[in-house]
Structure 1
């Protein structure tokens, strides 16, 4: 039996686990993500060392934010500024002495669903991760599609709404309209005279009480997401679209999104009668980064 260390580096915490070759997580925990890249690397070294004392480790798989090149070079590093422009693979291998694979976090989630989740049996699909912003992993013919510059699948940058017509055109993007933080909470707080809220569940609670701003915020949020997903469907025709991120566990969210997609599709005569992919939650949720990173490491080692 081969054993692997899976690391999922997020903006808030680093989730990590000891995983066997079947994808079973034997042990897992998390540690707070430091703002210092050096401290993150030191924590990774300690985590790997801890697991090395328990089992012989074949490889390390890492899920990381940002645009990641196949050789482990970080073109960007999301919220971790110290990761911009470094080769994370080489840095971790230098500290651990173990072969390491680095994968973009959304791609890792897509790999995890292919191995253990709701994409089993599908060959062409998209895994969208909704959180502070929006990321995504695009699988075509069973292979991750990276594009010419390593940033394919980043639908968060897609322009879907007409919010801003000045120099700040990013405000029209899915990141700023269809994400949980950048879209839903941002819209609500920008239009509210009350203290800012930082939990999307509050908006759903207010909407259940027929609060007009909460209902308008959800409609704006669903519209942006639905437009992005419909654009994806007509461009690439995936077999299934999986939604990850914490909000995907909310059945009200999924129902609202599916209703909005159906509504926009019906109102567009060109696509009204086309067969579209099913949109459903991803299966693995918080474990997706760990499992997907390990699956990628297994593929590279094979």
Structure 2
């Protein structure tokens, strides 16, 4: 069998042709350009799918999209302004109407987690929390080998658990969310707050300053690691996973914080969770496409079984 795995991110749409052994046979990319509106983003997705379909005849399409996704209906239950007017969109219906291929849609972090559980760092595990640390923060939660999506499709939205009550405002409408302290965006914003000026505009610039021995950058990283440790300890007490799989853009900088994070956890956690394991994600940009394709295979199998 062949499936298309589509990964819709805030800046890039990635699409892959995947066989049922998990081999990624071909890849195509489009810029998301979400600021141009919903219709523009959908047009880019349609163009990408049409291009991939010219190279193969897929049995299914699996899609991972930012937002809280109603997997049963294939619609977007809720999305932030990162994808304007995405809330309420029935993405499954849109794709099936235009391409005539069975389609299933899930949250993009969930599809990345499914990819890691299928072929990556979680391949031989049953209970994991797959955490994405990047521009934002989210997780895919697996218990006894099954993904947990929640009653309102919001399980795993760990970036919006409140770390500091009344703290920094978040685009979800709350204040003090974990995402405002433990993400790549939070790193450079925290640095600017510490300096009292808009000194830098990216995580890359932050780590460049850190490499020079910048004191404000060092202090910012100390607070960042402390906040990560608190969050991981709390999550371990809630989910008790076999391990945490950590991915996202910040994993590329782990030489600066990984060992210190593990040490903070060992020193601060109660004995029941102090020995928790953290492992880097095996896949980076490919996990979402692989996981989305895996969902597509499972969806077609369910359709065939119901006939």
- Of 209, 214, 237, 2:212 maps to 209
* 1:75 counterpart residue number: 77
Counterpart CA distance in 1 for 2:61 and 2:30 is 17
Tell me if 1:129 matches 2:128.
Answer: no
Tell me if 1:283 matches 2:282.
Answer: yes
Counterpart CA distance in 2 for 1:69 and 1:179 is 25
Counterpart CA distance in 1 for 2:113 and 2:168 is 34
- Of 150, 169, 184, 1:180 maps to 184
Tell me if 1:196 matches 2:195.
Answer: no
* 1:12 counterpart residue number: 11
Equivalent residue runs for 1:1-302 within 5 Å: 2-35=1-34, 36-70=37-71, 71-78=73-80, 79-161=82-164, 164=167, 170-181=174-185, 183-193=186-196, 195-253=198-256, 256-267=257-268, 271-272=270-271, 274-302=273-301
Instruction: Identify which range, 244-253 or 52-61, moves more after superposition.
Output: 244-253
- Per-residue deviation at 1:47? 2.0
- Per-residue deviation at 1:40? 2.1
TM-score, normalised relative to structure 1:
0.91
- Per-residue deviation at 1:87? 1.1
- Per-residue deviation at 1:171? 4.0
The superposition leaves residues 91-147 of structure 1 with CA deviations (integer Å, 9 ceiling, x where unpaired) of 111111111110101111110001111001000000111112111100111111011
The superposition leaves residues 20-78 of structure 1 with CA deviations (integer Å, 9 ceiling, x where unpaired) of 11111111121111332222222222222222222211011111001001221101234
The superposition leaves residues 175-212 of structure 1 with CA deviations (integer Å, 9 ceiling, x where unpaired) of 1001111x211101222255432332332332233321
Structure 1 residues 238, 258: closer, same or farther in 2, change over 3 A?
Answer: farther
Structure 1 segments unaligned to the other structure (5+ residues): none
Structure 2 segments unaligned to the other structure (5+ residues): 302-307
Q: Size of the alignment, in residue pairs?
A: 296
Counterpart CA distance in 2 for 1:86 and 1:60 is 17
TM-score, normalised relative to structure 2:
0.89
RMSD: 2.2
Counterpart CA distance in 2 for 1:200 and 1:40 is 26
Counterpart CA distance in 2 for 1:166 and 1:57 is 43
